[in-house]
């Protein structure tokens, strides 16, 4: 099964390459994408972006295709910040994904003080070692119980380094409690709760809040955003929490979208 969408507002490369997701790789004329226990093939055909999957409804939601991004792009331009305006216009096909929440918690624990190729490698090894084989083609992201029971040595052998204990302890807690109680919280309350999990600091909490729970008043701050804050906003704050609060106060309910336009635009040197 497959569906298509206007490529102007759905660019697979921009959407997948902007740091919000790790389980994708080049495939045929586009990309294979795996989320939880589901997979799709996404590619461009002329002025359309085509998604092929046995779970089309899942990936329609995953790529956030019910949302009108033309309005978000125009809102980005209205702030009159040159980098943001350029990025929103040139990367208007970038979409914020609706990802599996447990997967995002573990993935962003792995992501801290790490680079994207290495993150992707670690996650791939964890999935191959602990995840279920689906249709003989790919591995699902493992459940929290499997992560908890794997033991720290497994994660060290997968390359997770000091994050090994974080994964085991957070896996045990999620296996015991679930995460349903987190789903109804607003962004500040969610961040406060996420900070109580082993291995989750402020930046990881903001990433999980934004990319896992869809809280658009979250604004993760890393070295790229610090650079943008200084160079493009003329900012003088040095505390990342304060920088995040300042940016959320600036962009309000559009914060998550603006974070991705700014982050990706700076990385592309737009």
Q: How far is CA 124 from CA 33, 41, 171, 217, 230, in A?
A: 12, 18, 17, 30, 35
Closest of 168, 239, 244 to residue 210, by C-alpha: 244
In this prediction, residue 172 carries a pLDDT of 98
**Average pLDDT, stretch 107-121?**
94
In this prediction, residue 245 carries a pLDDT of 96
**Average pLDDT, stretch 57-79?**
98
In this prediction, residue 151 carries a pLDDT of 94
Q: What is the pLDDT of residues 69-85, one digit of tens each?
A: 999 999 999 999 999 99
Q: What is the pLDDT of residues 164-214, one digit of tens each?
A: 999 999 999 999 999 999 999 999 999 999 999 999 999 999 999 999 999
**Average pLDDT, stretch 220-243?**
96
Average pLDDT, the chain: 97
- Residue 264 to residue 18: CA distance in whole angstroms: 5
Q: Phi and psi dihedrals of 6, rounded to 5? A: -55, 120
Q: What is the pLDDT of residues 22-49, one digit of tens each?
A: 999 999 999 999 999 999 999 999 999 9
DSSP labels, 136-148: TTEEPPPPHHHHH
What number of helices (H) and strands (E) belong to the chain?
A: 14, 7
- Residue 103 to residue 43: CA distance in whole angstroms: 24
Which burial class, exposed, middle or buried, applies to 237 when counting CB atoms under 10 A from its CB (0-12, 13-18, 19+)? middle
**Average pLDDT, stretch 255-260?**
98
**Average pLDDT, stretch 93-122?**
96
Phi-psi category of 132—alpha, beta or left, where left has phi over 0 and alpha has psi -120 to 50? beta
Q: In a 3-state reduction of DSSP, which class is residue 33?
A: strand
Q: Phi and psi dihedrals of 113, rounded to 5? A: 50, 45
Helix, strand, coil shares of the chain, percent, nearest 5, are: 55, 10, 35
pLDDT-derived band at 242 (thresholds 50, 70, 90) equals very high
Tell me the pTM: 0.94
pLDDT-derived band at 18 (thresholds 50, 70, 90) equals very high
In this prediction, residue 234 carries a pLDDT of 96
pLDDT-derived band at 55 (thresholds 50, 70, 90) equals very high
- Residue 158 to residue 127: CA distance in whole angstroms: 10
**Average pLDDT, stretch 101-130?**
96
């Amino acid at each position: 099964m497959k569906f298509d969408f206007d490529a102007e507002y759905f660019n697979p490369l921009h959407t997948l390459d902007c740091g919000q997701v790790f389980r994708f790789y080049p495939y045929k004329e586009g990309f294979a994408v795996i989320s939880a226990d589901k997979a799709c093939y996404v590619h461009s055909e002329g002025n359309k972006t085509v998604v092929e999957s046995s779970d089309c409804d899942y990936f329609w939601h995953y790529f956030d295709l019910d949302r009108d991004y033309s309005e978000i792009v125009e809102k980005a331009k209205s702030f009159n910040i040159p980098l943001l305006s350029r990025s929103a216009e040139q990367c208007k096909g970038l979409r914020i994904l609706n990802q599996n929440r447990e997967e995002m918690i573990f993935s962003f624990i792995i992501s801290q003080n790490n680079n994207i190729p290495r993150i992707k490698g670690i996650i791939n090894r964890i999935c191959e070692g602990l995840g279920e084989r689906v249709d003989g083609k790919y591995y699902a992201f493992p459940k929290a119980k499997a992560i908890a029971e794997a033991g720290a040595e497994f994660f060290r052998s997968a390359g997770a380094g000091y994050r090994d204990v974080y994964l085991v302890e957070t896996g045990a807690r999620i296996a015991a409690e679930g995460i349903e109680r987190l789903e109804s919280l607003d962004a500040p309350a969610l961040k406060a709760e996420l900070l109580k999990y082993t291995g989750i600091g402020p930046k990881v909490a903001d990433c999980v809040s934004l990319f896992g729970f869809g809280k658009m008043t979250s604004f993760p701050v890393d070295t790229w955003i610090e650079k943008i804050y200084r160079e493009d906003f003329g900012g003088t704050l040095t505390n990342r929490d304060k920088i995040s609060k300042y940016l959320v106060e600036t962009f309000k309910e559009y914060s998550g979208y603006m974070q991705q336009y700014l982050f990706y635009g700076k990385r592309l040197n737009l």
